[in-house]
Structures are given as structure tokens and as C-alpha cells.
Amino acid sequence: MGLRDALRNAAKAAIGAVGDVAVSTNYLSHGSTTYNASTGAVTATFTTVAGVTLVFDEFRIVEIDGQAVKPNDKKALIPATSLGSVVPAAEDRIVANDSVVWEVVGVRTDPADALYELQIRKP
């Protein structure tokens, strides 16, 4: 096992160690979008990764600019190993256990790709 794998395992263990702060969610990876010309309906398809444990966090006041980061935006910290082969991207969604839907608007990661920091907002 290399250093990158060790860091990925450590990130997953750290999220699991925070106990009741961590939340079990479903992660919906955005697939394709189709447009029906006769009805005008737009339909998006998603691939669901169930049981993804993450930690919600707040943006600091100095990070909120009202444009790129809005006052009600949140951070979601997800260990990369929890998503399997899914790589987070804008337009993905997170559905928390209380059925609250968040849309991913930004994705950051650490140099080892062990932990994703997602900027999320309610659609």
C-alpha cells in the first residue's frame, strides 16, 4: 500500500471517527441530460451511490462573497474511498437522510485526492 492509499484510508477513518457529526447520505452523480423537443421537458439521469458518510461544514464569513459562495452554501467533506469510482462534479446532488437535496456547485480536493470538499447549495 502506497502513501496515497494510506491517506485515503486515514481520511475515511477520520470521517467515521467523528461519530454523530457524520451524516449518511445518498450521492447522485449526474449522468446525461436529454431534451424532449415536443414537450420542452429536460430530464437528467443520475447514478446513485448509497450510504455515503460525510460531514457538513460552514463557510467562514470571509469566504462568502455573495457571488461564487452564497450565504446559505455549505461544505460537504467526503472521503474519496466512499464514492468508489465516482468523481464528484458540478450538478451532482447529495440527498441527506432527511430528504434535503443539495446540488454540488464546486469541488476541491487535497493533493492526495483522499478527501473531497464540495461546495453545495439547495437548488
Q: What is the mean pLDDT of residues 47-70?
A: 93
Other Cβ atoms closer than 10 A to 33? 10
CATH code of the domain covering residue 62: 2.40.10.270
Structural domain of 98 = 3-121
pTM of the complete model: 0.80
69 vs 66: CA distance, rounded Å: 6
Kindly provide the residue ranges of all beta strands, DSSP E only, lying in the chain, ordered along the sequence: 23-35, 42-58, 74-79, 93-96, 101-109, 115-121
**pLDDT of 20-54, one tens digit each?**
678 889 999 999 889 999 999 988 899 999 999 89
Query: How many domains are there within the chain?
Result: 1
> Which pLDDT value is given to residue 102?
96
Burial zone of 32 (CB within 10 Å; 0-12 exposed, 13-18 middle, 19+ buried): exposed
Beta strands 23-35 and 42-58, pairing class: antiparallel
Q: Is the distance from CB of 64 to CB of 58 less than 8 angstroms?
A: no
Cell numbers for 41: 421537458
> Which pLDDT value is given to residue 10?
67
115 vs 113: CA distance, rounded Å: 6
Flag whether pLDDT at 64 surpasses 70. yes
| pLDDT above 90 as % of the chain | 60
**pLDDT of 84-100, one tens digit each?**
899 999 999 999 977 89
Q: What is the mean pLDDT of residues 56-65?
A: 93
